[in-house]
Structure 1
Amino acid sequence: MEIFKGKKYIFSRGIAFYPEKEMQLLKKQGEKGWHFRKMNQVGLLVFEKGKSEEKEYSVDFFDGSPDELSEYLVIYKQAGWGNITNYKKRYFYFKADCGTPTIYSDAESYWIRMKKEWNWLLIHSLVYLPIGIVLLIMLFFTKTSKSIFFANLWIRTMLIFFGMLFTVLPLGVAISVIFSLVIYRDRTKYYNQPERFARKQKVLRDSIILAMIGFIVGVLVSILLRNSF
């Protein structure tokens, strides 16, 4: 957390997997007089100083086309939720008076929302896979190259780093989705009680577990590629 020129910056808890935590963070900051304005490109939530207020917040994923956006925002507005901002025109932040019902009316509709969001994440992460594969292929076929460029240690280090990163990224997203489905399999039951579910979420614990899994996967991939480097 950092305060600079009347603004406060806090790292997002993770809107893809911890939107309930995000809602509670925004609410608590609003009660302290810090009003949420946006999330910037590096994942920092930006707040501006103002009067204390008690509001409910909602973070939702929009999977429609640009033509459907107006109708989507109208639905929220009619339900009492005002749009604050959006992140990459996919994640939308809303604010309402305390006691305003959530936009999701049942567990099934919330489950559909989760599936659409995670499918979108998986599909978009696959964009990096061909790049990673190409870089690793270049690494393999230039192993005995006499080219000064490909024989350079820094060049080969960059090739293996970005090759592994882009190749493993889709796998990392898939692991995160599966992990969330297993650890928080009862999430849909709290479709209208995000505050209660937020108390069940353990961001630090989950981060440590996923980091350990990522380390193991990274080691396995490194072993497979050790002869190429």
Structure 2
Amino acid sequence: MFKGKKYIFSRGIAFYPEKEMQLLKKQASKGWHFKKMSHIGFLVFEKGTPEDKAFSVDFFDGLPEELSEYLVIYQEAGWENIANYKKKYFYFKADCDTPTIYSDSESYWLRMKKEWIWLSIRSLFYFPLGIGLLILLFLTKTLQEHFLSSLGIRTLLAFIGMLCIALPIGVAINVAFSIIIYSDRTKYYNQPERFAKRQKIVRDSLFLAMIGFIIGVLISILLKNSF
């Protein structure tokens, strides 16, 4: 916190939007008004007058020319657009008694499904790069006096390759985890604050980290002969 600004790491707009709404509401009640989310995932707040407002975080899956119509729908429903993240995630605020934009559990499930499909497809772009780097390491493991024979370079390429492979796997695991652990999520389409109280980010993070560690170890075993 400095010069009237506060920075808080996002709770995760893709998998914990309800927690994000809860955080924004709590900060607003203390006089910290949300302004934007930085490219590295920090929520930026500025000091002001305390206010009691409801917040909503939504995913936009339409075409750029459909954005203005999308924002008008929210505006007419009483929600003010206050920020966006990469023109995909939009933050809104309204009076606490304003109805949510989603009218039933089916429409809320459709919103989540479109978001997770978009995330999965986007992350898959990194997979071929990761596979390509690992194949390169395997094919060049016997080279001598070549820049690819350097242990430092090979370690760096292996790290990047593993990261590119792990990204889509991580997204898939997070989606599956959310569907299984929070299977009744859509029932709270109009009660995000109630659902936010059920979400356990620390527990979930530890469990997912354990899965990631196991996958990382398995990949490392497969790569041990590539050096």
TM-score by length of 2: 0.99
Aligned AA for 1:176? N
Counterpart mapping for 1:60-79 below 5 A: 60-79=58-77
CA distance in 2, matches of 1:122, 1:112: 15
2:34 matched residue in structure 1: 36
The percentage of aligned residue pairs carrying the same residue is: 73
1:84 matched residue in structure 2: 82
2:157 matched residue in structure 1: 159
CA distance in 2, matches of 1:30, 1:13: 16
Q: Say whether 1:22 aligns with 2:20.
A: yes
CA distance in 2, matches of 1:185, 1:147: 55
Q: 2:51 aligns with which of 53, 58, 65?
A: 53
1:174 matched residue in structure 2: 172
CA distance in 2, matches of 1:179, 1:38: 28
Counterpart mapping for 1:1-229 below 5 A: 3-229=1-227
Aligned AA for 2:26? K
Aligned AA for 1:153? L
Aligned-partner SS, 1:46: strand
User: How many angstroms does 1:146 deviate by?
Assistant: 1.4
CA distance in 2, matches of 1:227, 1:148: 18
CA distance in 2, matches of 1:4, 1:43: 18
More moved, 151-160 vs 116-125 = 151-160
Aligned AA for 2:136? M
CA distance in 1, matches of 2:63, 2:144: 50
CA distance in 1, matches of 2:26, 2:70: 27
Aligned AA for 1:70? S
Structure 1: 5+ residue runs without aligned partners? none
| Matched residues, number | 227
Aligned-partner SS, 2:226: coil
Aligned AA for 1:89? K
User: How many angstroms does 1:221 deviate by?
Assistant: 0.8
Runs of 4+ aligned structure 1 residues displaced above 6 Å come to: none
User: How many angstroms does 1:143 deviate by?
Assistant: 0.3
User: How many angstroms does 1:4 deviate by?
Assistant: 1.2
CA distance in 1, matches of 2:198, 2:183: 12
**CA RMSD of the aligned region, Å?**
0.6
CA distance in 1, matches of 2:212, 2:145: 33
Aligned-partner SS, 1:226: helix
Aligned AA for 2:5? K
User: How many angstroms does 1:147 deviate by?
Assistant: 3.5
User: How many angstroms does 1:74 deviate by?
Assistant: 0.2
